[in-house]
Amino acid sequence: MRYPETVNLPFNATLLADGFVPTPPGLPDDGEPGLWLVIRGSALVVEERGGRFLLPEGERPQWLTTEHEPIRFGMWGGKPLRAVRMSAKEVLPAPLVLEPFNSAADHLDDVSLTLGGMASQLLHWSGNSRCCPRCGGPLEPIPGTWGKRCTPCRAEHFPHIHPCAIILVRRGDEFLLARKPEWPEGRYGLVAGFLDFGESLEECARREVREETGVEVTNIRYVGSQCWPFPSQLMAGFVADYAGGELRCDPTEIEDARWFCAADMPASLPGRRSIARWIIDTYALEGEAP
């Protein structure tokens, strides 16, 4: 699927339009049948039926054995949405299968991806916000929000979102792609990295390109953003122009970096669900000007 605007990319809530209605945190759960966003590791539990991958639906599934209480976080099409994490030790009965969020195959539709990503991000925050990072005391929910308050010291904490810059560098008809050693063989993508202390997003983009590839950039332009719930990032996308420097890869970060063109592409690119692929398709292969 071609995404015409970054706001419509998977994992961004705008893709759900008016079909998603958030549920205020802390409301009692009446147990009404609904849709289940069951996360196991970095995968979503789905039902495979006739080549389609569907979210489990109905009352609490009998196969769902977990010590964690489901979190009701919204409504989709008038049906409650519940997020819950299950153990990797449990065996899933057919027709249930695990579909990794980072799968190279686009088995999951955009709605399931987005709801699953939202559930995964919420469960990550819930599981990592039990104790106060200031004093170590227990945290309690702040009514009406996903935030939490420390019982002893009263410090307030809210979901941690980690901003990252992701950058396409253009040099005439060429563009710079890099690969990490843990990626599938032949896959190349964009340079990206986390924001550091005292940086703007544009400064982060410039630094990451310099550190990872030795290249200097100029004319940095913001093109869009994407929620990336793995576990809790916000990807800010940029396009920049080459300003100088020879390729010199940082072996602690990337395995290789090369200049490509539309007629000479790598064997594999990031999945179409990612802003990395949207930027490559839009500003490298189609040559649009931001």
Dig out the tokens for 202 from the structure: 């544009």
- Residues 263, 168 share a domain: yes
Residues 6+ apart with CB under 8 A from 20: 13, 74, 75, 76, 115
Is the domain of 174 the same as that of 256? yes
State how far the Cα of 49 lies from the Cα of 70, in Å rounded to an integer: 25
What is the distance between the alpha carbons of residues 136 and 33, in angstroms, rounded to a whole number? 37
Contact call for residues 264 and 270 (beta carbons, < 8 A): no
Q: Are residues 184 and 244 in the same domain?
A: yes
Backbone dihedral angles phi then psi of residue 236, each to the nearest 5 degrees:
-100, 120
pTM of the model: 0.92
Indicate which CATH number applies to the domain containing 86.
3.90.79
User: Which pLDDT tens digit goes with each residue over 189-243?
Assistant: 999 999 999 999 999 999 999 999 999 999 999 999 999 999 999 999 999 999 9
Same domain? For 174 and 149 the reply is no
Tell me, what's the pLDDT at 290? 80
What Å distances lie between residue 248 and 203, 210, 211, 215, CA to CA?
20, 9, 9, 8
Domain for residue 290, yes or no? no
Name the 3-class secondary structure at 286. Answer: coil
CA 227 to CA 175: how far, in whole Å?
24
Domain boundaries, position 80: 6-127
pLDDT at 49: 87
Do 166 and 280 lie in one domain? The reply is yes
Where b means 16+ CB within 10 Å and e means fewer, 14-26 reads ebbeeebeeeebe
Q: Are residues 106 and 205 in the same domain?
A: no
Give pLDDT tens digits for 105-142. 778 899 999 999 999 999 999 999 999 999 999 999 99
Q: Do residues 241 and 169 make contact, with C-beta atoms less than 8 angstroms apart?
A: yes
Total number of domains in the chain: 3
Mean pLDDT (whole number) for 277-285: 94
Q: Rounded to whole angstroms, how far apart are CA atoms 120 and 83?
A: 8
Distance CA 66, CA 185 (A): 36
Residue 23 is classified by DSSP as P
To which residue do tokens 């979210």 refer? 55
- Statement to judge: residues 78 and 140 lie in one domain: no
Which tokens in the block code for residue 216? 């200097």
**Above 80 in pLDDT, residue 2?**
no
The answer to whether residue 1 scores a pLDDT higher than 60 is no
Q: Per-residue pLDDT averaged across 10-30, rounded? A: 90
> Between these two residues, 176 and 289, which has the higher pLDDT value?
176
Q: How is residue 107 written in tokens?
A: 């088995």
Check whether residue 166 and residue 273 sit in a common domain.
yes
Are 85 and 40 within one domain?
Answer: yes
Question: Residue 247 domain-assigned?
Answer: yes
At 65, is the secondary structure helix, strand, or coil? Answer: coil
Q: Which of 274, 284, 276, 263 is nearest to 175 (CA)?
A: 284
Same domain, 151 and 210: no
Per-residue pLDDT at 103 exceeds 80: no
